[in-house]
Amino acid sequence: MERRDFLKSAAAAAVTSVASPSSATTEARAASGSPLTRPESPEMQYRELGRTGERVSAIGLGGYHVGKQADPAESIRLIRSAIDRGITFMDNCWDYNDGISEVRMGQALRDGYRSKVFLMTKMDGRSKESYNVQLEQSLGRLQTDMIDLVQFHEVIRLEDPDRIFAPGGAMEAAVAARDAGKIRYIGFTGHKDPYVLLRMLEMADKHNFHFDTVQMPINVMDAHFRSFTKEVLPVAQQKGIGVLAMKTFGDHFILDSKTVEPIEAFHYSLTLPVSVVITGIDSPQILEQAVTAAKTFRPMSQEQVASLLGRTREAAADGRYELFKTSSHFDGTAQNPKWLG
């Protein structure tokens, strides 16, 4: 899709916010505040999402990778194939591929598919105004009146929690959107340093606010370097926050280390107390790999975990395979401060 075509389609979607009949039904049911029931497949495993009462697939479809295909129809087929195989958790973000990921997911969720999924996207805005602008754009692109979960994206700077919770900050917009029925749950993400996420949870306590989810790196190398698994996961678990694991392969760099195979990397993350392991799926072959990981999953023993972590310890020591922690290349919003508002 050329950028000019995307801008036309995004503008049209933002104006019309067309939802399919099944989507409207889903949104009407969601208005009651009760968890929604979605179809489940024997090929997939399902878990509780924190204390929301929602039941979602243990594997989540990463939104970035479904906006990269040259042919939009390929992206749509891939999203629908994932749903048909039992993946109900859909990840996305306002800024992925300049909005194309949301546009394509919105197109894929027509014809009854919206009611089959738990839809999540993320906002980069830190002010009330910027959050509201981005949310309306995402609602339009996704062709829905209600998004199940919206998360504050890339909470990676020490000032991010303060800006979000400040008077006139993005939290005010998120709560208002939840009260208005535009979103159902609120979460946040981060991948740089566990301290920043702990600061976000401290701010939530200070303001008597409960986050429904937190998305963060959970992988076979994280335990050895700036560990979200050790520092943040226990706190989130104690608070009843649903943990969304990401960076299972660290893009491709963790696999490049030759210390772990894809299926065992999935099984390690799934063994931990997480609700969903979100993974990038950009082809039918990678989709098959993710579904196979879910079908074959059995919790790893302490001995198996120790052996796997022993294999990855040396490679993980300085974070060279977790570039999202150590390189500015992965700071999307850092390169575009106007997004933050």
What stretch of H or E contains 278?
Answer: strand 276-279
Residue 335 pLDDT: 44
| CA 192 from centroid of its chain's CA atoms | 16
Residue 22 pLDDT: 42
d(CA 289, CA 295): 10
Query: Within 13 Å of residue 298, how many CA atoms lie on the same side as its CB?
Result: 3
d(CA 195, CA 333): 19
In sequence order, what are the residues at sequence separation of 6 or more whose Cβ sits closer than 8 angstroms to the Cβ of residue 61? 79, 82, 87, 89, 90, 91, 278, 279, 281
Q: Over its length of 341 residues, how does the chain's per-residue pLDDT go in tens digits?
A: 434 444 434 434 433 333 333 444 445 545 556 789 999 999 999 999 999 999 999 999 999 999 999 999 999 999 999 999 999 999 999 999 999 999 999 999 999 999 999 999 999 999 999 999 999 999 999 999 999 999 999 999 999 999 999 999 999 999 999 999 999 999 999 999 999 999 999 999 999 999 999 999 999 999 999 999 999 999 999 999 999 999 999 989 999 999 999 999 999 999 999 999 999 999 999 999 999 999 999 999 999 999 999 999 999 999 999 999 998 755 444 445 556 67
What is the Rg, in whole angstroms, of the alpha carbon atoms belonging to the chain? 19
Residue 186 pLDDT: 98
3 state DSSP class of 44:
coil
Residue 248 corresponds to which tokens in the numbers above? 């299972």
- Best CA proximity match to 111, nearest among 220, 231, 20, 228: 20
End-to-end CA distance of the chain: 28
User: Phi-psi bin for 335: left (phi > 0), alpha (psi -120 to 50), beta?
Assistant: alpha
User: Phi-psi bin for 181: left (phi > 0), alpha (psi -120 to 50), beta?
Assistant: left
Backbone CA torsion sign across 160, 162, 165, 168: negative
* Contact predicate 77/88, CB 8 Å: no
Residue 187 corresponds to which tokens in the numbers above? 């979460």
The pTM (predicted TM-score) of the whole model is 0.89
Residue 159 pLDDT: 97
Architecture, CATH, for domain 56-329: Alpha-Beta Barrel (3.20)
CB burial of residue 173 (10 Å; 0-12, 13-18, 19+): buried
- Best CA proximity match to 274, nearest among 301, 228, 226, 237: 237
What stretch of H or E contains 294?
Answer: helix 284-295
